[in-house]
Amino acid sequence: MKLTPAKLILAAASLMLAGALSAQPPASASGPISFPLVPDTSPKCTLKQRIGLTDIEIVYSRPNMKRHQVFGGIVPYGDYWRTGDNASTKISFSTAVKLNGVEIPAGKYALYTVPGEKEWNILIYKDIGLFGVDGLEPARILDQIRVASQKVTDPAKSFTIDFDDLRDDSGILNLKWATTVVPLKLEVDVVPDLMVRIAASLNSPGKKLAVNYLRGATFYFDHSSAPKELDQAMIWVNLGLLDKPPIAYQLLYLKAQLLSRQGDRAGAVETARQSQEMAKDAGDHQYFALAGEVVRGARQ
């Protein structure tokens, strides 16, 4: 039988299809198939943050508000809440911290909450093995923290825990969902420990880089007004200036600030002007302006 061109094309296509069906799947497709989370699940999230020298880790699940009323609805007011979904939310601190002024030792805890219309009760719970609120024993609560909630216009569609306003020794830990935000101030006592470490490093034998003197003196200036610490910062600034480094104008700016805080206004003005001249030559407009602020402030 003579095959027409159309029949030849059909036969070739049939052979190709048969080969494709009999072929083994590629190695990459032979394993188990991973599917995306279905809409009703609450994805797990791990949040890590360092504040000062303290490492903080929070593990929680993130339910979605969808069309529900959240607080006073699917999360009732006045009841224990696991602060997320699925397993209870876990929070750990590598050192002792303060949450809204309440001292919390280093360790790992479960973070439970009791939402209210205007105020929440934050519970730091010792037992991290609970899945939800079943079995929660008041005797196992390490401490409780009362926090006023806030209303926002831009809703968080999924429950969110994050940090804001991060500083050397503090930050704001936010619990957000729908139009509610509950802010907790988290503080760490990093300053005394770090001051000791800085002093031990900069006062040890051996030559130091000017930038190390600048950083150490700046930390002392930013975190203390005690005469002893300010005198130590001044010593480091002068040591950093010995070899006339490229950052001399930054050291002079800090020296002017130190002189102003110590009450030597005339010395502060003169030193700030030196910093301005060197910053101008270096093309650093930011430090030129900062030194100018010291001049104006010392004259007032």
Contact 160, 146 (CB under 8 A): no
Helix (H, G, I), strand (E, B) or coil at 52: coil
Contact 159, 181 (CB under 8 A): no
From residue 294, alpha-carbon distances to 133, 203, 259, 271 in Å are 56, 28, 10, 9
The pLDDT, as a whole number, for residue 41 is 74
* Closest to 258 measured CA to CA, from 295, 283, 221, 206: 221
* Closest to 250 measured CA to CA, from 208, 202, 294, 207: 294
The pLDDT, as a whole number, for residue 17 is 46
Spell out the domains of the chain, with CATH numbers in brackets. 44-187 (no CATH), 191-299 (1.25.40.10)
H/E element holding 104? Answer: strand 102-104
What are phi and psi for residue 258, nearest 5 degrees? -65, -45
The pLDDT, as a whole number, for residue 21 is 45
Q: What is the pLDDT along the chain (300 residues), one digit of tens a residue?
A: 555 555 544 455 454 545 544 455 555 556 676 656 555 578 999 999 999 989 999 999 999 988 889 999 999 999 999 999 999 999 999 999 999 999 999 999 999 999 999 999 999 999 999 888 888 999 999 999 999 999 999 999 999 999 999 998 999 999 999 999 999 999 999 888 889 999 999 999 999 999 999 999 999 999 999 999 999 999 999 999 999 999 999 999 999 999 999 999 999 999 999 999 999 999 999 999 999 999 998 777
The strand pair at 44-51 and 54-61 is best described as antiparallel
Buried b (16+ CB within 10 A) or exposed e, 123-134: bbbeebebeeee
Query: What single DSSP character describes residue 265?
Result: H
* Closest to 97 measured CA to CA, from 82, 79, 81, 109: 109
- Count the helix, strand and coil residues of the chain and give each as a percent rounded to the nearest 5: 35, 30, 35
The pLDDT, as a whole number, for residue 2 is 53
**What is the C-alpha separation between 272 and 261, in angstroms, rounded?**
13
- The number of beta carbons lying within 10 Å of the beta carbon of residue 27 is 7
pTM beyond 0.75: no
For residue 211, give both structure tokens. 């930038």
Strand partners, 118: none
The pLDDT, as a whole number, for residue 123 is 97
